[in-house]
Chains A and B, each alone.
Chain A
Amino acid sequence: MSRIRDTFLELERSGECAFIAYMMAGDPDPSLTPPIATAIARYADVIELGIPFSDPIADGKTIQTASERALKAGMRPDKIFELIAAIRKETDIPIVVMSYYNPILHFGIERFMKRLAEGGDGIIIPDLPIEEADDVVWYAKENGIDTIFLIAPTTPEERIEQICAYSSGFVYLVSLLGVTGARETISGVVKTLIKSVVEKRQDIPPAVGFGISKPEHVQEIVKSGAKGVIVGSAIVELIAKHKAKPEVLIPALEEFCAALKAATRR
């Protein structure tokens, strides 16, 4: 059993939806990643750690600039494993790494998954469709890492099933046509998408991300039947806002994450 799966099952029993919090590793500085992650983990059910990339084509301005800050601060792909180890000392929360494909490919897929297994639980690669993912899935499985693939509003019905078959832990439903970034409202298409996945596959929980930035959004997603919500840019924005003052940042993050988590209780 994976830590991610256990978490979803446990939340299901207590009638809650998983709150998955995204942050960019190394932003604003690698030394701050463990304390930030630990603060988030007090309220979140899963942590998603981004590895910065020079050309993040699926990301909007907020995560692009976080990526640039992290790279400037000296964040590197192999440092992610040290940071995960440091976070692991503080918390048992499932940790999912999100990275574009090239840094992983360059590091070596097998080597990456082996290292990730030292404390991490899952991997999301936003520019890797299932057609190109056999090696990733193979080595991830061999090392007990869950592979989380994305389903978009444009994904045809029959393909949804295939993507679920490649996925473990959860599947990531992209709530809108577009890149990451906080939005004012939740797009309508996501409800049909959730329904379609829930009907097709009872065995893999759908989590919804992209654009979700407020407790009201979270509530809306929870009501639509999703098993998880992913909040990214709104958290990254808060980190950017207080990046110079960790003593303000940590309580602000805790307050925001507490509100988001409260909204996941049905």
Chain B
Amino acid sequence: MHIGEYPKAGKFGEYGGQFVPEVLMHALKELEDAYLLYGKDEQFKEELDFYLRTFAGRPTPLYFCARLSELLGTKLYLKREDLVHGGAHKLNNTIGQALLAKRMGKRRIIAETGAGQHGLATAIAGASFGLKTEIYMGEEDIERQRLNVFRMRLLGAEVHPVGSGSRTLKDAINEAIRDWVTNVQDTHYLLGSVVGPHPYPMMVRDFQRVIGIETKEQILETERRLPDALVACVGGGSNSIGLFYDFLDDEEVALYGVEAGGEGISSSRHSATLYAGTKGVLHGTYSYLLQDEDGQILPTHSIAPGLDYSGVGPEHAFLKDMGRVTYDIVTDREALHAFELLCKYEGILPALESAHAVAYVARLVEVEEIGSDDVVVVCLSGRGDKDVEIIERALHEQNP
């Protein structure tokens, strides 16, 4: 079977679908139609490619980490999505969706954001394409990612604080959906990950595929072979699916998705949706999620705001059940350690989200899943400037 044929009728096996208020059903159909039309349109593809090259800064380098490779005992490459304009992979998707929104005649875009990276990437796309941009962000995230809030506002976006529920990404999505329900006629909801109702998981994946397509070309050029393992962090799952997708049929390539273990699974302060969750419906899609015995959605925790979410993309649920991707966890503490390593050994300040993926490489070496001759590619999904305040506080707590 060719895994890449999914979704079929909006589903990845049993996962996915459209669980939304009736008001939005027509908008989703319009969006799917527009995407299927323009996704194949040569002019649209050329325009997207143009902006990805000249504005976003693609292709991004595949960097060999000489010092860290020696330290860890493997051949570690980083796919440098932190070098994309805005500082994360998020712009790959927002440029694509903003171009689509323009084609659809929408004048306003809205988005949710956790870490602020997707909000920032939406604000950038909105400014450069002349679309009115409004961002929903949980109050807790506004406090811990102030730099990105300031950036979004400088770029002309309006940032709406969300004070309901757990005041993080989940609640920002609720509020963005409520806005969309109200303003569906002139507004495009620019969702930031491979979550939500069909066609978002498919469309966002396709816009992020560029990560894996470039990686394959680059690694074949430098190593003359496919990598042994790919590792990426999983929040909603967009940078990971983007990296994995064009390797799904290469069975010799092991795929690892790393979720936020927070303070450990037993503490119940984590965001390990695939690792520790159960099946259910959240934000329009059937997937794994973190819920209590009544089907109420549980609050989550991660030191990385972009991973702090109780749901996950339905295609990941599908790949988990199929066994094609291994999903595991890295704790806050391990991620912080990896953050420091990457700073000190490679001169790269990674986003805390991405640091989870780097930390997992050390684990793979430790348990001898990979050895010194093996080639591992990590998706360095973003840069860590936004996180310095969190890190300063956390390091201080560790060594007061």
| Most chain B CB within a 10 A radius of its CB, from A57, A151, A178 | A57
Given contacts A102-B282, A126-B21, contact A55 B291 (CB under 8 A): no
Given contacts A55-B282, A60-B178, A177-B182, contact A155 B22 (CB under 8 A): yes
Q: Nearest CB to that of A149 among chain B residues? A: B22
- A131 at interface by CB-CB < 8 Å: yes
Contact with A along B157-175 (1 / 0, CB 8 A): 0000000110000110010
Given contacts A101-B19, A101-B281, contact A155 B295 (CB under 8 A): no
- A103 at interface by CB-CB < 8 Å: yes
Chain B residues with Cβ under 8 A from A57's Cβ?
A: 20-21, 174, 177-178, 181, 283
Chain A residues with Cβ under 8 A from B181's Cβ?
A: 57-58, 177-179
Chain A residues with Cβ under 8 A from B165's Cβ?
A: 54-55
Residues from 115 to 130 in B contacting A, C-beta threshold 8 Å:
none
| Most chain A CB within a 10 A radius of its CB, from B17, B22, B27, B170 | B22
Chain A residues with Cβ under 8 A from B171's Cβ?
A: 55
Q: Which secondary structure dominates where chain B touches chain A?
A: mixed
Chain A residues with Cβ under 8 A from B182's Cβ?
A: 177-179
Contact A174 B280 (CB under 8 A): no
Residues from 23 to 80 in A contacting B, C-beta threshold 8 Å:
53-58, 60, 64, 71, 76-77
**Closest CB of chain A to B347's CB: distance in Å?**
42
Given contacts A53-B296, A101-B281, A105-B281, contact A177 B23 (CB under 8 A): yes
Chain A residues with Cβ under 8 A from B372's Cβ?
A: none
Contact A54 B296 (CB under 8 A): yes
Contact with B along A88-117 (1 / 0, CB 8 A): 000000000000011111110000000000
State the CA gap A179–B293 with chains docked (Å). 27
**Closest CB of chain B to A159's CB: distance in Å?**
8
Contact B23 A152 (CB under 8 A): yes
Q: Which secondary structure dominates where chain A touches chain B?
A: loop
Contact A103 B296 (CB under 8 A): yes
State the CA gap A184–B293 with chains docked (Å). 39
State the CA gap A54–B310 with chains docked (Å). 12
- A150 at interface by CB-CB < 8 Å: yes
- B381 at interface by CB-CB < 8 Å: no
Q: Nearest CB to that of A101 among chain B residues? A: B281
The number of chain A residues with a CB under 8 A from chain B is 38
- A128 at interface by CB-CB < 8 Å: yes
**Closest CB of chain A to B134's CB: distance in Å?**
16
- A153 at interface by CB-CB < 8 Å: yes
Contact A177 B296 (CB under 8 A): no
Contact B297 A106 (CB under 8 A): no
- A129 at interface by CB-CB < 8 Å: yes
- B277 at interface by CB-CB < 8 Å: no
State the CA gap A56–B182 with chains docked (Å). 15
- A188 at interface by CB-CB < 8 Å: no
Q: Among A126, A128, A154, which residue has its beta carbon within 8 angstroms of that of B26?
A: A154
Q: Among B19, B178, B185, which residue has its beta carbon within 8 angstroms of that of A128?
A: B19
State the CA gap A178–B23 with chains docked (Å). 8
State the CA gap A159–B19 with chains docked (Å). 16
Contact B296 A151 (CB under 8 A): no
Residues from 177 to 230 in A contacting B, C-beta threshold 8 Å:
177-179
Chain A residues with Cβ under 8 A from B174's Cβ?
A: 55-57
Residues from 144 to 184 in A contacting B, C-beta threshold 8 Å:
149-156, 159, 163, 174, 177-179
14 contacts between A and B (CB under 8 A): A54-B296, A57-B21, A58-B21, A58-B178, A77-B295, A102-B295, A105-B281, A106-B280, A106-B293, A132-B18, A132-B19, A150-B22, A152-B26, A154-B23
If A60-B178, A102-B297, A128-B19 are given as contacts, then 10 extra A-B residue pairs at C-beta distance below 8 Å, sorted by A number, are A57-B177, A58-B21, A71-B296, A102-B280, A105-B280, A106-B294, A126-B21, A154-B26, A174-B23, A177-B183
